[in-house]
Amino acid sequence: MALDLDAEQLDRYSRHIIMDDVGPEGQAALLDSSVLVVGAGGLGAPVLQYLAAAGVGHIGIADDDVVELSNLQRQVIHGNDDVGRPKVDSAEEFIAALNPDVDVDTYETRVTQDNAESLIEGYDVIVDASDNFPTRFLLNDACMLADKPLSHGAVYKFEGQATTLTGGPCYRCLFPEAPPEGTIPNCAEAGVLGVLPGTIGAIQATEVIKLILDEGDTLEGRLLAYDAGGMSFDFVPIAPNPECPVCGDQPHIDSVTEGEYAGACTLGD
């Protein structure tokens, strides 16, 4: 790990470097780290913004969507001139303008059973900023099997949630199966408070940075539930499920190609 930060980096990251818990070694660790963010929408926008600002040296962005005018109420890395552009292109341009230290790889694709394992390969931490249950289960399984830490977040109306998954308990321990398709409306049907993804996304970015620095206590084993209307935070313990098919006592999912990830039930973005 290189500690030879140049003069511009010493200035850019000075507020990190003067912290005992970060210092030049921690900043070098951030610059040497790699993070894949799945989703460049409401949650992905603040995650990407803060990880890039912090100096995470290699960021991957996976998203198959284009910017729409209705996105701009919450997806703060995109602007009017980006409407109609692929979100990965807009996000890459935003990061380049924010911090030239960051190398960006873009994947204009939906995460599927065919590409999930290859997408997460080579990245230190994975961020689930997706908007649907099949992708959440798919990322959970791929990360658990590859021993990759996963930061999960979700938003809906005035409510948000976040947790960090590092090998068990996993997302399937929390939600054994997705709700039936159509029972949970997406943000186009139910709406989402514009600032809410910023709060949850910032929490996800915080978790990622702590994982890289190996500092502080993460949300492993806990689900943070945030109610913006009541301005309250609650923590729900996540108990390991011995019958979990991916992290239980006798797991039977050995590859994401063996799982079932049909449907597209969404929960806000």
Question: 220: which DSSP letter?
Answer: B
Q: Cα–Cα distance between 132 and 135 in angstroms, integer?
A: 6
265 in active site = no
Report helix, strand or coil for 227. strand
DSSP for 158-213 reads: TEEEEEEESSSS-HHHH-SSPPPTTSS--HHHH-B-TTHHHHHHHHHHHHHHHHHH
CB 169 within 8 A of CB 244: yes
Closest CA to 87 of 65, 62, 119, 59: 65
Give the contacts of 136 (CB within 8 A, at least 6 positions apart). Answer: 128, 130, 152, 154, 171
What is the chain's alpha carbon radius of gyration, rounded to the nearest angstrom? 18
Token pair for 212: 């890289």
CB 123 within 8 A of CB 36: yes
Catalytic residue among 143, 170, 173, 187: 187
**Which residues participate in catalysis according to the annotation?**
187
